[in-house]
Chain A
Amino acid sequence: MLDTMFSEDDVIFKKELNSLLDKLLPTNWAHYPDETDDFHWELSKKIKLSLSIKNWIAPSWPKEYGGGGKDITKAIILSETMAYRMSPGNDRFATRMIGPTILKYGTSLQKKQFLSEITSGKVQWCQGYSEPNSGSDLASITTKGDYNEETETLTINGTKIWTTLANRANRMFILVRSQPGSERHQGLTFAVLDMDNKGITVNPIKNIAGKFSFNEVILKNVKISSENIIGKLHEGWKIALDLLNFERSGIDYIGWAERCLDDLISYSKKNKLNKNEMIFDSEAFKKDIAILKADLESAKIMTYKAIWKKSVSDDIHMEPSMSKILATEINNKVHDYALEILKDQIGFIDENPQNNFVQRILNHRLFFVSGGILAGTNEIQKNIIAQRGLGFPK
């Protein structure tokens, strides 16, 4: 419904993107993009290269760095469409987190090196924020970054955890405590590093859905040059937070939720509720689906607004938090409802291809437990809305 917000040029872009994905994705592709899986990973690399040829990896970045030079709407369409198609190859760590951060805070050398590398489609990034025992409290990090003024190097020691795709990534952006004795938000440095550096060990962690989507990353005497520091030494907190605002739009969850809802409606038109009635013909089903659709559209418009606002202004506090909550919650709600409709079939593993839809919804719902937790739990987002947005006390 919100497609009416798009210009003619946007609609053409979406159509061309879908055509490209039609060619690249296997027929009837309906798997959550799990790039830890070898097949998905190869597909991801192929799709990235194809997007790169068209300058579509980062459609809204400047052309000089391999971007498309277009407005932010194209980036929204790209992310939402790829999520809807469940396509791998959309490296959100690169295009929606570190990329915009380097564009804003990076030196011209950093921009040239890292942004051009991202748009070439040949790298995968990961995020070095979370640490064991730090939970959602990002300011409590203890990974050390000892700066040597003579050699102008930062030596990193510590452990990062829940690091999605660290086992595939070429690069990581990381937040380290560079000022000895500093506390909380002070004395932190934001940097980028090569995952091939000596001293990095990646230990995969199996998730609830049985996949190895995230990892523990141990950094032992990992040395990086001062040229890899983004912004100023010891002043990384503001950059780290700004990056989170890029991260929190929740646009992927909108695409995944919409796909699930559309597929559920298709399923309801082909399957019976009882002997006489198709699921779709049930008044109760229609009412529930309509409420979900209304929630989805309003969440979607909030994600659009959050991304758009971040692209035009730094005066942004609550929009990313609101859109993150809304997008992750509606995605879970839609999957929960699908599970409710499919409840008689989810209790056992069924290899029958005809029942792939059931298995997929179950696996996805398990995986999407993470949505409300990652990038700052939804409870943290509510704190942000109340305290930074509405002036409530900390």
Chain B
Amino acid sequence: MNFNINETQSMLISSAREVLSNKYDLKLINKRIDTKSDYLPGWKELQQQGFMGMLAKESNGGYGLSFHEFSLIMEVWGTYLCSGPIIENSIAGVLALQKYNETKFSEIIKKITRNEYVITTPLSNQFYEKGNIPEIKNNMYISGRLSNVPFFELSTHIIFIAKQNNIPKIMILPTSKINIEKVVFDLLGNKLANVYIENNNISDENFIGDDNNTHEIIDFMMNHIIMSKCSEMIGASEAVLNKTIDYIKNREQFGRSLASFQSIQHKISEIFTSISETKELSRYLSKIINSNQKKYSSLLKIKCNESLNTIIWDAHQLHGAIGFTWDYGLHLYTRKILMNKSVLGDTEFHSKILLS
């Protein structure tokens, strides 16, 4: 039993903080929501620092770090409200391809680590929202629509679920031959593309896994994507906590510091405790998560959905009117937490898995 973060992990966290902390710009994120700009804080910076190779083995040009260490970076990523397909590349791209088809996809993995390829995936929309599933015909062509594809325009490849004779398959295709039908936006102004594939030629090269392990690969990806999103939520919650503490300590009411009121102290202790327990659970589960342990990711998603959702409303109450404004920035974290809660399965969905 050991709850310590080791020296390498501490350095990794410090390094990510150093890279990402000065990229967070409240005005630019607000502007992204207002004007639908392409502001992606942190994405290029992490790419340039070689973070896309975090989970890739050294033989594939990466650093061979663990998923636990990736989760620690995702906390930092969430703290600074960074944006970009880091989860898509690291999980669907590197981790899953490396685990299930390393020989076949080693060149793609290497290109991801060198930032030559960028992966996106609408997997969560397909899996949890029962989104569109393209269809393979005659083993040669694929057609269909995909909804809510994140970061499509900056991606070179897309990983998604298709079906062939009603049997699910996991595919990887270049995005160059896929067309955008419509662009929608998430709560933080990030673009989501609805795209269509029209009789694209496919071959064995486009299939990830085989008939025997498709479900396992999907579970593997989903478990890790859920855990990553939860880490991101935890990071965002920590930013909320720090912002709230900072505000309370500097705000005076009735001639005394807000921080001196016991009711305020108790509420902040509750928020701190709630985030601490969720973070500890997340960090531990990220060490042991695997493909066949859906219960772990479901447990964590339930915890994040229920607890972190509560802390954000408490933080608003503690902020008073200022947190209600556009320019203060608390709303950005509120949106982030609500957004992550709304994707990848709600509490009802995960409760069935947990109790199965």
> Does A5 lie at the interface of the complex (its beta carbon under 8 Å from any beta carbon of B)?
yes
Quick check: A385 and B273 within 8 Å, CB to CB?
Answer: yes
Which B residues lie within 8 Å of A309 (CB)? 3
Query: Number of contacting residues on B, CB 8 A?
Result: 39
Quick check: A308 and B269 within 8 Å, CB to CB?
Answer: no
Once A290-B354, A385-B273, A386-B265 are accepted as A-B contacts, the answer to whether A298 and B278 lie under 8 Å apart by CB is yes
> Does A152 lie at the interface of the complex (its beta carbon under 8 Å from any beta carbon of B)?
no
Quick check: B1 and A71 within 8 Å, CB to CB?
Answer: yes
Quick check: A287 and B351 within 8 Å, CB to CB?
Answer: yes
* Segment 170-204 of B: residues with Cβ below 8 Å from A: none
Quick check: A299 and B355 within 8 Å, CB to CB?
Answer: no
Quick check: A390 and B272 within 8 Å, CB to CB?
Answer: yes
B62-87 interface bits toward A, Cβ cutoff 8 Å, 1 = contact, 0 = none: 00000000000000000000000000
| B355 to A: closest C-beta gap in Å | 5
- Set A289, A301, A386: member contacting B355, Cβ < 8 A: A289
With both beta carbons as reference points, the residue of chain A lying nearest to B262 in the complex is identified as A383
* Segment 260-291 of B: residues with Cβ below 8 Å from A: 260, 262, 265-266, 268-270, 272-273, 276-278, 280-281, 284, 288
| A373 to B: closest C-beta gap in Å | 16
Quick check: B1 and A382 within 8 Å, CB to CB?
Answer: no
Once A73-B1, A294-B302, A298-B280 are accepted as A-B contacts, the answer to whether A392 and B348 lie under 8 Å apart by CB is no
- Set A286, A291, A326: member contacting B273, Cβ < 8 A: A326
> Does B259 lie at the interface of the complex (its beta carbon under 8 Å from any beta carbon of A)?
yes
CA distance A325 to B298 in the complex (A): 24
CA distance A298 to B285 in the complex (A): 11
> Does A345 lie at the interface of the complex (its beta carbon under 8 Å from any beta carbon of B)?
no
Most chain A CB within 10 A, of B262, B265, B306, B307, is at B265
CA distance A309 to B302 in the complex (A): 27
Query: Number of contacting residues on A, CB 8 A?
Result: 44
Quick check: A308 and B3 within 8 Å, CB to CB?
Answer: yes
> Does A61 lie at the interface of the complex (its beta carbon under 8 Å from any beta carbon of B)?
no
| B37 to A: closest C-beta gap in Å | 36
> Does B341 lie at the interface of the complex (its beta carbon under 8 Å from any beta carbon of A)?
no
| B235 to A: closest C-beta gap in Å | 17
B302-330 interface bits toward A, Cβ cutoff 8 Å, 1 = contact, 0 = none: 11001100000000000000000000000
- Set A1, A298, A302, A304: member contacting B1, Cβ < 8 A: A304
> Does A240 lie at the interface of the complex (its beta carbon under 8 Å from any beta carbon of B)?
no
Main secondary structure of the interface of B (DSSP, over half): helix
CA distance A287 to B268 in the complex (A): 27
Quick check: B269 and A290 within 8 Å, CB to CB?
Answer: no
| A286 to B: closest C-beta gap in Å | 5
Quick check: A1 and B260 within 8 Å, CB to CB?
Answer: no
CA distance A132 to B280 in the complex (A): 39
Which A residues lie within 8 Å of B354 (CB)? 290, 293-294
Which B residues lie within 8 Å of A5 (CB)? 1, 284
> Does B48 lie at the interface of the complex (its beta carbon under 8 Å from any beta carbon of A)?
no
Once A301-B280, A308-B1 are accepted as A-B contacts, the answer to whether A1 and B257 lie under 8 Å apart by CB is no
- Set A73, A304, A382: member contacting B265, Cβ < 8 A: A382
Quick check: B257 and A393 within 8 Å, CB to CB?
Answer: yes
Which B residues lie within 8 Å of A390 (CB)? 245, 268-269, 272
With both beta carbons as reference points, the residue of chain B lying nearest to A71 in the complex is identified as B1
> Does A195 lie at the interface of the complex (its beta carbon under 8 Å from any beta carbon of B)?
no
Which A residues lie within 8 Å of B306 (CB)? 291, 294-295
Which B residues lie within 8 Å of A381 (CB)? 269
| A269 to B: closest C-beta gap in Å | 11
> Does B352 lie at the interface of the complex (its beta carbon under 8 Å from any beta carbon of A)?
yes
**10 tightest Cβ-Cβ pairs between the two chains A and B:** A290-B351, A386-B265, A382-B269, A385-B269, A298-B277, A294-B303, A298-B281, A294-B302, A382-B266, A287-B351
Given A308-B3, A393-B257, output 13 extra A-B contacts at Cβ < 8 Å.
A1-B299, A4-B288, A76-B1, A286-B351, A287-B348, A291-B306, A294-B302, A295-B306, A297-B299, A322-B277, A382-B265, A385-B272, A393-B260
Q: Could you pull out 11 A-B pairs where Cβ atoms are within 8 angstroms?
A: A73-B1, A283-B348, A290-B347, A290-B355, A295-B307, A297-B281, A297-B303, A298-B281, A298-B307, A304-B3, A385-B273
Name B residues whose Cβ lies closer than 8 Å to a Cβ of A.
Answer: 1-3, 245, 249, 257, 259-260, 262, 265-266, 268-270, 272-273, 276-278, 280-281, 284, 288, 295-296, 298-300, 302-303, 306-307, 347-348, 350-352, 354-355
